[in-house]
Amino acid sequence: MFFKEGEDGVKVYRLQPVQILALGFAAVILIGALLLKLPISSSNGQSTPFIDCLFTATSAVCVTGLVTLDTGTYWSLFGQIVILILIQVGGLGFMTFATLIAIILGRKITLKERLIMQEAYNAFNIQGIVKLAIYVMTITFSIEALGAIFLATQFVPEYGWKKGIYFGIFHSVSAFCNAGFDLIGGFRSLTPYVENVVMNLTIMSLIVIGGLGFGVISEIITNRNYKKLSLHAKVVIFATFILIGLGALSFLVLEYNNSKTLGSLSLKGKILSSLFASITPRTAGFNTINLSDMTVASKFLTIILMFIGASPGSTGGGIKTSTATLILMTVLSVIRGREDTELLKRRIPKDLVYRAIAITFISFILVIVVTMILSITQEGDFMEFLYEATSAFGTVGLDLGLSPRLNLIGKIVIIFTMYSGRVGPLTLALAFARKQLCVSKAIKYPEDKILVG
């Protein structure tokens, strides 16, 4: 933010692109909350308490999935469509839709708007940013349409053509945008389809693709050769599949004999559920087994996966896979006695390492503070509070049954956490990246040492 002297001597307040993004998300959330407040949005035709409308709108725009009211039974068709639109806008970003409208109206995209889009997509520069926005919309709608077709093949036999197709579209958009909203009803998520191969594979594929990041998806489609991909794309792909593989194997081992989760399933169901349980914490929010019945070790592993989240420039949250990878490689470089952080035979600039450490630390502090506030103001156990706080920060949407029980303070805290998780880490990263500090770079203080470790 900065003030600029106007022609008449009056200081004019101008917003930086990252601040416009933050305010833009807040504006969309408020509009969504007001629409959900309308009596037509609820199935009983009555006005919904504003705090619940604000909670639902925030969860949708921040593509989280935490809900205080059951999406499938409480909201009317109008309310569900409002939620669906909020999910799509939140997943792609409001600037993407603003660009689409501008293109349709034949209006030129200004430099300021290109800079905002650059911030939204985590792009290195503004060159080709409008073309990227169009590419993103094309890819998104194409993948969501394909996902909707596959899901409709499972929903239509159960619900009929109209409702089945609608369910297919809703859950496809929700999965690709990593939102986790479902229309099954009864807060059951996808548990009725725990052994449905088509349902599981389609939802998991949508979640993974949506969590890779639009830039990486574009590179994969364009290059089709792993060796030609950028370092960032290679790191994202490698980290994503390592986390999925290790997570799935861990869940399979930890829950294999748990009669309340995987124990009663067939081998096919156990493998599908383990994979699903590993993929969905990547900020998706769906579940096919009862999360509350998981072992403590599995719950804690889920918390770790939720904190890491998806990848930069994607529809997901968390500190991001590349950030976690950078932290890990920095630790390994220190252990090896290397001066610089090295990754795939490349040296990583120190400012990126500092940024990764700052984002991780601030995110960790946020989760701890929110957990403490919930433990003071809510009834439940520590695992529920930590799980809820991490899920809100990572914009995941998984919970152990605490969301519907939240009181007013708890709802406000989680709303703030979801918003911070969607906007905060991105804003911090961009702020550090653009070096928007008022301290002069020319000033250097004398070097000294302290003991660590």
Phi, psi of 379 (to 5 degrees): -100, 130
Phi, psi of 12 (to 5 degrees): -105, 130
Q: Which amino acid makes up residue 409? A: I
Domain ranges of the chain: 2-433
- DSSP classification of residue 9: S
CA angle 270, 271, 272 (to 5 degrees): 95
Would you say 274 and 252 are in contact if contact means Cβ atoms under 8 Å apart? yes
Cα gap 182→410, rounded to integer Å: 23
Q: Tens-of-pLDDT digits for all 453 residues of the chain?
A: 444 444 554 444 466 656 666 777 888 999 999 999 999 999 999 999 999 999 999 999 998 999 999 999 999 999 999 999 999 988 876 556 566 565 555 566 665 555 555 555 555 555 556 666 777 788 889 999 999 999 999 999 999 999 999 999 999 999 999 999 999 988 999 999 999 999 999 999 999 998 888 778 888 888 877 788 889 899 999 999 999 999 999 999 999 999 999 999 999 999 999 999 999 998 888 999 999 999 999 999 999 999 999 888 777 888 999 999 999 999 998 898 888 888 888 899 988 898 889 889 989 999 999 999 999 999 989 999 999 999 999 999 999 999 999 999 999 999 999 988 887 655 644 544 444 444 445 577 787 777 776
Contacts 24+ apart (CB under 8 A), 320-329: 320/425, 321/235, 321/236, 321/239, 321/240, 321/243, 322/232, 322/235, 322/236, 322/239, 323/356, 323/359, 323/360, 324/239, 324/360, 325/235, 325/238, 325/239, 326/352, 326/353, 326/356, 327/356, 327/357, 327/360
Would you say 62 and 419 are in contact if contact means Cβ atoms under 8 Å apart? yes
The residue among 168, 113, 123 whose CA lies nearest residue 145 is 168
